[in-house]
Amino acid sequence: MNIHDIGTVWNNAFRHIFNCCWHESVKPLQYFCQSLPLSYLIDERRLMFFRKLLAHDDIVIRTLVALPAVYYGYIGLCSKYDIKDPLSSRTYIKSHVFKAFCASVF
Protein backbone atom coordinates (compact mmCIF):
# COMPACT_ATOMS: atom_id res chain seq x y z
CA MET A 1 0.00 0.00 0.00
CA ASN A 2 1.13 3.54 -0.68
CA ILE A 3 0.09 6.90 0.77
CA HIS A 4 -2.56 7.42 -1.91
CA ASP A 5 -4.26 4.11 -1.09
CA ILE A 6 -4.22 4.83 2.64
CA GLY A 7 -5.56 8.33 1.95
CA THR A 8 -8.42 6.77 0.00
CA VAL A 9 -9.25 4.55 2.97
CA TRP A 10 -9.10 7.64 5.24
CA ASN A 11 -11.50 9.52 2.95
CA ASN A 12 -13.83 6.53 2.68
CA ALA A 13 -13.99 6.38 6.47
CA PHE A 14 -15.28 9.98 6.47
CA ARG A 15 -17.80 9.09 3.79
CA HIS A 16 -18.99 6.11 5.78
CA ILE A 17 -19.23 7.99 9.10
CA PHE A 18 -21.17 10.89 7.59
CA ASN A 19 -23.11 8.75 5.11
CA CYS A 20 -21.93 10.72 2.05
CA CYS A 21 -21.98 9.81 -1.59
CA TRP A 22 -18.85 8.00 -2.69
CA HIS A 23 -18.15 10.37 -5.57
CA GLU A 24 -18.24 13.56 -3.46
CA SER A 25 -15.18 15.23 -1.96
CA VAL A 26 -14.71 14.83 1.79
CA LYS A 27 -12.60 17.98 2.14
CA PRO A 28 -15.52 20.09 3.46
CA LEU A 29 -16.28 17.39 6.04
CA GLN A 30 -12.65 17.28 7.09
CA TYR A 31 -12.57 21.07 7.29
CA PHE A 32 -15.61 21.28 9.58
CA CYS A 33 -14.26 18.42 11.72
CA GLN A 34 -10.89 20.23 11.83
CA SER A 35 -9.23 17.08 10.58
CA LEU A 36 -6.57 17.12 7.87
CA PRO A 37 -6.39 14.78 4.90
CA LEU A 38 -3.75 12.11 5.32
CA SER A 39 -1.24 13.74 2.95
CA TYR A 40 -1.36 16.96 5.01
CA LEU A 41 -1.04 15.00 8.25
CA ILE A 42 2.07 13.24 6.98
CA ASP A 43 3.62 16.54 5.86
CA GLU A 44 2.81 18.11 9.22
CA ARG A 45 4.43 15.21 11.09
CA ARG A 46 7.50 15.39 8.85
CA LEU A 47 7.83 19.12 9.53
CA MET A 48 7.57 18.52 13.27
CA PHE A 49 10.11 15.70 13.13
CA PHE A 50 12.69 17.73 11.18
CA ARG A 51 12.13 20.74 13.43
CA LYS A 52 12.81 18.56 16.45
CA LEU A 53 15.99 17.18 14.88
CA LEU A 54 17.27 20.65 13.96
CA ALA A 55 16.85 21.78 17.56
CA HIS A 56 18.38 18.62 19.05
CA ASP A 57 21.19 18.90 21.61
CA ASP A 58 23.36 16.29 19.89
CA ILE A 59 25.73 17.85 17.34
CA VAL A 60 25.89 14.63 15.31
CA ILE A 61 22.14 14.61 14.75
CA ARG A 62 22.08 18.32 13.87
CA THR A 63 24.96 17.74 11.42
CA LEU A 64 23.18 14.84 9.72
CA VAL A 65 20.02 16.90 9.34
CA ALA A 66 22.05 19.79 7.92
CA LEU A 67 23.26 17.64 5.00
CA PRO A 68 22.04 19.21 1.76
CA ALA A 69 19.82 16.31 0.65
CA VAL A 70 17.96 16.26 3.96
CA TYR A 71 17.95 19.97 4.69
CA TYR A 72 16.77 21.08 1.25
CA GLY A 73 13.97 18.53 1.38
CA TYR A 74 12.87 20.07 4.67
CA ILE A 75 13.17 23.61 3.30
CA GLY A 76 11.11 22.58 0.27
CA LEU A 77 8.40 21.26 2.55
CA CYS A 78 8.54 24.52 4.55
CA SER A 79 8.11 26.56 1.39
CA LYS A 80 5.14 24.42 0.32
CA TYR A 81 3.33 25.63 3.44
CA ASP A 82 4.83 29.13 3.49
CA ILE A 83 6.85 28.54 6.65
CA LYS A 84 9.67 31.08 6.73
CA ASP A 85 11.69 29.90 9.74
CA PRO A 86 12.71 26.20 9.84
CA LEU A 87 12.67 26.35 13.66
CA SER A 88 9.18 27.81 13.92
CA SER A 89 6.96 26.81 16.82
CA ARG A 90 4.70 23.77 16.63
CA THR A 91 1.62 25.98 16.70
CA TYR A 92 2.95 28.08 13.81
CA ILE A 93 3.65 24.97 11.71
CA LYS A 94 0.24 23.43 12.44
CA SER A 95 -1.58 26.66 11.63
CA HIS A 96 0.22 27.05 8.30
CA VAL A 97 -0.50 23.46 7.28
CA PHE A 98 -4.17 23.92 8.20
CA LYS A 99 -4.25 27.25 6.35
CA ALA A 100 -2.92 25.54 3.21
CA PHE A 101 -5.59 22.87 3.56
CA CYS A 102 -8.30 25.53 3.96
CA ALA A 103 -7.09 27.19 0.76
CA SER A 104 -7.53 23.89 -1.07
CA VAL A 105 -11.07 23.43 0.27
CA PHE A 106 -12.48 26.77 -0.88
Segment 42-54, tens digit of pLDDT: 999 999 999 999 8
Averaged pLDDT score across all residues of the chain: 92
pLDDT at 80: 95
pLDDT at 15: 93
Q: What's this model's pTM, rounded to 2 decimal places? A: 0.87
**3-state class of 81 per DSSP?**
coil
pLDDT at 30: 94
**How wide is the angle at C-alpha 21 spanned by C-alphas 38 and 104, nearest 5°?**
40
**Alpha helices, H only, the chain:** 3-18, 27-32, 38-54, 59-65, 68-80, 90-105
For residue 77, which of 51, 106, 103, 38 has the smallest C-alpha distance? 51
- Name the residue ranges covered by the structural domains of the chain: 3-105
* pLDDT 10s digits, 62-104: 899 889 988 899 999 999 999 998 889 999 999 999 999 999 9
Q: Is the pLDDT of residue 1 over 80?
A: no
